[in-house]
Amino acid sequence: MRRSIIHSLLLCGGLSFGMCACSSRPSLQSQKEALGKLIFQDELLSEPAGQSCATCHTASRGYADRDGRMVSEGAVRGLYSQRNSMTICYSMYVPSLYYDDAEETYVGGLFWDGRSPSLQHQAGEPFLNPVEMGNPDRLAVTGKVRRASYYPELVRIYGETSCVDSLYAHITDALAAYQSSKEINPFSSKYDAWEKKKAEFTPPEIRGMELFKDKGKCAECHILDNDGRANRVLFTDHTYDNLGIPRNSANPHYQVPAGYFLLTKDSLDLGLGAIVGKEEENGKFRVPTLRNIALTAPYGHNGYFKTLEEIVHFYNVRDVSDEFPPAEYPATINRDELGNLGLTPEEEADIVAFMNTLTDGFYTPDEQ
pLDDT at 18 over 90: no
Is 87 in contact with 292 (CB distance < 8 Å)?
A: yes
Q: For the segment 292-344, what is each residue's pLDDT rounded down to a tens digit?
A: 999 999 999 999 999 999 999 999 999 999 999 999 999 999 999 999 999 99
User: What DSSP element (H or E) covers 100?
Assistant: strand 98-100
Nearest to 359 by CA among 296, 287, 286, 288: 296
Q: Give the mean model confidence (pLDDT) for residues 243-252.
A: 93
* CA pair distance 11, 227, nearest whole angstrom: 9
pLDDT at residue 263, rounded to an integer: 60
For the entire predicted model, the pTM comes to: 0.91
Q: For the segment 188-209, what is each residue's pLDDT rounded down to a tens digit?
A: 999 999 999 999 999 999 999 9
* CA pair distance 58, 227, nearest whole angstrom: 25
pLDDT-based confidence at 249, cuts 50/70/90? confident
- CA distances, 318 to each of 216, 248, 334 (Å): 13, 16, 11
pLDDT-based confidence at 3, cuts 50/70/90? very low
Phi-psi region of 114 (alpha: psi -120 to 50; beta: other; left: phi over 0): left
pLDDT-based confidence at 261, cuts 50/70/90? low
Q: How many CB atoms lie within 10 A of CB 276?
A: 20
pLDDT at residue 25, rounded to an integer: 72
Q: Which residues of 350-368 are buried (b: 16+ CB within 10 A; e: fewer)?
A: bbbbbbbbbbbebbebeee
